[in-house]
Amino acid sequence: MHTFHRDGQNCGMTYMTAPRLSGLLRRLQALDKFGRGFDFDLRANGSRGVRVALEAVTGARLNERRHRITGVETVDPQDIPRFKKLGVMANAQVHQSISVLHVELWI
């Protein structure tokens, strides 16, 4: 996975594992009383966060809605085809990536 810090180890933060997030997504999906489904918007930091989010969507076996991963700055090349396969949109904010670069220059 792509690292974005000088230490060569930082691939992004995660607050929960993919299995835990999958379980939460399934529980939320079960609350849909109208049968239309939900469009989930997952926040991801770094290539590790993106991978965890993609694994969670895969594990949750969600309906054919258009889910998004927001905050995409770096993605491991192996994960790029998974977006299309899962029908997940990548929501990237260029200004955020530039801000990270500016911070890196000052550290």
Q: Say if pTM beats, i.e. exceeds, 0.95.
A: no
Residues of the chain with pLDDT > 70, as a percent, come to: 72
Strands 41-43 and 68-70: parallel
Residue 81 reports pLDDT greater than 90: yes
Domain boundaries, the chain: 18-106
Question: Which value, to the nearest 10 degrees, does the dihedral of the CA atoms of residues 64, 13, 18, 86 take?
Answer: 20
Query: For position 1, what pLDDT does the model report?
Result: 53
pLDDT tens across 52-68, in order? 899 888 888 776 777 88
CA angle 82, 84, 85 (to 5 degrees): 60
3-class SS of residue 107: coil
Beta carbons within 10 angstroms of residue 51's beta carbon: 21
Q: Which of 87, 21, 16 is nearest to 56 (CA)?
A: 21
